[in-house]
Each structure stands twice: as C-alpha cells, then as structure tokens.
C-alpha cells in the first residue's frame, strides 16, 4: 500500500508539472500570435476665431497628432488625475471640462471655448 501511494503521488506531480509547462508554452504562443490593432479617434474643434484644430488620438500607443495651421504636431499622452494632457518638447495640450488649450513654448496658441 505504501509503494502504491508513492507511485500515485509521483504520477500526480509529473502530470501537474507537465500541465503547467504546456500551459505556459501555449500562453506564450498565444501572446506572440495576437495582433494589436491601434484604436484611433479623430476629432476637430473650431474656436471663436474660426481656427480649426484637427486631432487624431492613438489610444493604443497613447500618442496623438494634431494639425494646426497645416503643421503636424506629434505628442505623447501624460498621466493626469482628470482630463486629458498630451505634450512634447514645445507643445502642451490640455482638455478639461470641455475646455481645450494648446500651448507652444508656454504661450497659448489655441483655446476652445
């Protein structure tokens, strides 16, 4: 009886170990085979002066491209407690409570409303 219980317990350990390895390999394979599609949201806003700011937010990569006066502006999303904040070396975009502000080198160049 003692030998039988040893055999059963050793078989259980081997089975568990093999199952875990197979699961890890399958998981790794699934992860590598997944194709992530970028989720891009397009929007545009026109201020009181009739100037339009066109925006394309890539929510997958946490980046955005703004078109302002024909110039493309590439920015990265910054973490905020509330609202939206994107920036790069020269530009700073903030959206909070339906108010939008785009600054270039600290100077406001676009505001809505």
pLDDT value of residue 33: 61
Q: To 5 degrees, how large is the angle CA 77–CA 83–CA 85?
A: 25
Using CA atoms, how far apart are residues 46 and 113, in angstroms rounded to an integer? 9
Using CA atoms, how far apart are residues 71 and 73, in angstroms rounded to an integer? 6
Q: By mean pLDDT, which of 34-38, 64-68, 75-79, 106-110 is the weakest? A: 34-38
Is a pLDDT exceeding 60 seen at residue 41?
Answer: yes
pLDDT value of residue 80: 82
Using CA atoms, how far apart are residues 42 and 58, in angstroms rounded to an integer? 9
Mean pLDDT confidence for 98-112:
95
Does residue 86 have a cis peptide bond before it, meaning omega lies within 30 degrees of 0?
no
Does residue 34 contact residue 60 with C-beta atoms inside 8 Å? no
Beta strands at 40-46 and 52-58: parallel, antiparallel or unpaired: antiparallel
Higher pLDDT, 18 or 53: 53
Mean pLDDT over each residue of the chain, to the nearest integer: 77
Confidence of residue 5 (pLDDT cuts 50, 70, 90): very low
- This prediction has a pTM of 0.65
Q: What are phi and psi of 53, to 5 degrees?
A: -115, 115
């Amino acid at each position: 009886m003692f030998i039988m219980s040893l055999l059963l317990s050793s078989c259980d350990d081997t089975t568990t170990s093999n199952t875990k390895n197979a699961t890890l390999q399958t998981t790794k394979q699934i992860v590598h085979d997944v194709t992530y599609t970028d989720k891009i949201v397009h929007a545009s806003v026109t201020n009181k002066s009739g100037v339009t700011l066109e925006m394309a937010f890539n929510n997958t990569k946490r980046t955005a491209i703004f078109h302002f006066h024909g110039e493309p502006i590439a920015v990265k999303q910054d973490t905020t407690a509330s609202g939206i904040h994107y920036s790069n070396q020269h530009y700073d975009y903030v959206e909070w409570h339906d108010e939008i502000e785009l600054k270039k080198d600290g100077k406001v160049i676009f505001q809505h409303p």
